[in-house]
Amino acid sequence: MTADIIDGKAFAAGLRERVGGAVAALKRDHGLAPGLAVVLVGEDPASQVYVRNKAKQTVEAGMQSFEFRLPAETDEATLLAKVHALNADPAVHGILVQLPLPDQIDADQVLAAIDPDKDVDGFHVVNVGRLATGSPGALVPCTPLGCLLLLRDRFGPGGLSGKNAVVVGRSNIVGKPMAQLLLQESCTVTVAHSRTQDLPAVCRAADILVAAVGRPQMVQADWIKPGATVIDVGINRIAKEDGGTRLVGDVDTQAAKAVAGAITPVPGGVGPMTIACLLRNTVTACCRQHGVPEPAM
């Protein structure tokens, strides 16, 4: 048996196309152009690449892209003032402050200052609470939302109900929201982590295994139940034997392919879904702010 490869790159391209169609309809029917503001503090190379990709894909989807680059020595008060200005700007429907922030800025304070209805990253405590309680209006963090869309596509309508799901990792960005989303799909959910006793045995019970620990190739093939669906959220850069580096996930993909029923590759799996879901969230936020029905995306 060789696992099906879940092509996140292709799915994300389709999602961006649907987002573009929704944006065109909003412009045509309501005179609305969704706007996404991204704030970058400092010169972190990885963040710069990510912000550039976000801006490019935002414009390609027909949306307005607002980009603000602040020097690394920016103080917290200046950044908070920028966030408050964006909260008040009616052309901006989504706000994203790129993490990590420099040491002199408290990221929690900044995230708390973003209007929850414009918090397209889904990190504000109000959105966390909405998701946890199943309340309407939650904006969901982009990476776990992308994982869920891939799983829904794999299993079909109602196909996740009753499945045993194990999420390895308990971060606020992926692990915890992923568990909440799977609970809402009526999965039986276990959240495992570095302190879990006999972690391989816990993983082997999973019909759906989501690896989000940030440790290269930690999940081995014998941790995987035969036929399970594996979602690998990890993006780790490791050295190659002949020099240079390569990207790997949190799962030993090559070995896992012989056991799993389906698996996301790294790169090309979950990664492309993150920005596509950011665009989707921005359209959703725009519709809610203007009382317009949300399009199916």
pLDDT value at position 44? 86
Question: Which domain, by its residues, includes 47?
Answer: 30-116
Would 200 be classed as within a structural domain?
A: yes
Task: Tell me: do 111 and 179 sit in the same domain.
Answer: no
Taking residue 167's Cβ as centre, other Cβ atoms within 10 Å add up to 31
pTM of the model: 0.95
Task: Tell me: do 69 and 182 sit in the same domain.
Answer: no
Number of domains in the chain: 2
Would 87 be classed as within a structural domain?
A: yes
Task: Tell me: do 148 and 94 sit in the same domain.
Answer: no
Would 211 be classed as within a structural domain?
A: yes
pLDDT value at position 87? 98
Would 132 be classed as within a structural domain?
A: no
Q: In what order do the strands lie in the sheet with 35-41?
A: 64-70, 35-41, 94-97
Task: Tell me: do 149 and 253 sit in the same domain.
Answer: yes
Task: Tell me: do 154 and 231 sit in the same domain.
Answer: yes
Would 17 be classed as within a structural domain?
A: no
pLDDT value at position 242? 86
Task: Tell me: do 155 and 107 sit in the same domain.
Answer: no
Question: pLDDT, tens digit, for every residue of 36-46?
Answer: 999 999 988 88
Question: pLDDT, tens digit, for every residue of 63-118?
Answer: 999 999 999 999 999 999 999 999 999 999 999 999 999 999 999 999 999 999 99
Would 23 be classed as within a structural domain?
A: no
Residues catalogued as catalytic: 54, 98, 121
